[in-house]
Amino acid sequence: MGKFLRLLLLTVLVLPACASTCTTRWFDRDDPSGVGDFETLADLRKEYPMDICPKPTGIEAQTVEGTPASSTGQIFHPFNPKEGFACVNKEQKYFCLDYKVRFTCPSNFCSGCTTRWFDRDNPSGKGDYELLSNLRSEYPGGICDEPLAINVQTVDGRPAVKTGQRFSVYDTTRGFACVNTEQVPGQSCLDYVVQFTCPESFCSASTCTTRWFDRDDPSGVGDFETLADLRREYPTDICPEPIGIEAQTVEGTPASSTGQIFHPFNPKEGFACVNKEQYKRSCLDYKVRFTCPSNFCSGCMTQWFDRDGPSGRGDYELLSNLRSEYPGKICAEPLAINVQTLDGIPALKTGQKFSVYDPTQGFACVNDEQKPGRSCHDYRVQFTCPGSFCSG
For 124-180, how does the pLDDT look when each residue is reduced to its tens digit (9 = 90+)?
999 999 999 988 877 766 788 878 778 888 888 888 888 889 999 888 888 999 999
Q: What is the pLDDT of residue 391?
A: 64
Cα–Cα distance between 378 and 83 in angstroms, integer? 67
What is the bridge-based pairing of β-strands 356-358 and 169-171?
A: unpaired
Cα 175 to the chain's mean position, in Å?
18
Partners of 213 in the β-ladder: 288
What's the pLDDT band for 48 if we cut at 50, 70, 90?
confident
**What does the mean pLDDT of the chain come to?**
84
Indicate if the pLDDT at residue 6 is higher than 50.
Answer: no
For residue 210, the one-letter residue type is T
Cα–Cα distance between 175 and 167 in angstroms, integer? 11
Q: First and final CA of the chain: distance in angstroms? A: 70
Distances (CA, A) of 254 to 10, 112, 188, 245, 295: 31, 12, 28, 12, 27
9-23, 47-61, 324-338, 354-368: least confident range = 9-23
Indicate if the pLDDT at residue 210 is higher than 50.
Answer: yes
What's the pLDDT band for 17 if we cut at 50, 70, 90?
very low
Q: Is 295 in contact with 387 (CB distance < 8 Å)?
A: yes
30-39, 102-111, 319-328, 348-357: least confident range = 102-111
What's the pLDDT band for 243 if we cut at 50, 70, 90?
confident
Q: What is the pLDDT of residue 349?
A: 79
Q: What is the pLDDT of residue 80?
A: 93
> Which of 22, 101, 5, 7 shows the shortest CA–CA distance to 62?
101
The H or E element spanning position 204 is: helix 200-206
Q: Is 23 in contact with 102 (CB distance < 8 Å)?
A: yes
Q: What is the pLDDT of residue 360?
A: 81
What's the pLDDT band for 14 if we cut at 50, 70, 90?
very low
Cα–Cα distance between 53 and 83 in angstroms, integer? 13
Indicate if the pLDDT at residue 392 is higher than 80.
Answer: no
> Which of 145, 259, 124, 139 shows the shortest CA–CA distance to 194?
139
Q: Is 180 in contact with 127 (CB distance < 8 Å)?
A: yes
C-beta neighbour count of 95 within 10 angstroms: 14
Q: What is the pLDDT of residue 176?
A: 94
Whole-number percent of the chain with pLDDT over 90: 38
The H or E element spanning position 130 is: strand 127-131
> Which of 300, 299, 339, 296 shows the shortest CA–CA distance to 319?
339
Q: What is the pLDDT of residue 367?
A: 95
| Average pLDDT estimate for 268-294 | 89
> Which of 171, 150, 129 shows the shortest CA–CA distance to 50?
150
Q: What is the pLDDT of residue 4?
A: 33
What's the pLDDT band for 206 if we cut at 50, 70, 90?
low
C-beta neighbour count of 276 within 10 angstroms: 9
The H or E element spanning position 297 is: helix 294-297
Distances (CA, A) of 354 to 79, 236, 322, 358: 62, 15, 18, 10
Helix, strand, coil: what percent of the chain each, to 5? Answer: 20, 30, 45
Residue 104 contacts by C-beta under 8 Å, 6 or more apart in sequence?
A: 17, 21, 22, 23, 56, 57, 58, 59, 60, 81
Indicate if the pLDDT at residue 228 is higher than 80.
Answer: yes
Cα–Cα distance between 238 and 175 in angstroms, integer? 29
The strands making up 127-131's β-sheet, listed across from edge to edge, are 127-131, 175-179, 169-171
For residue 370, the one-letter residue type is Q
Cα–Cα distance between 131 and 324 in angstroms, integer? 48
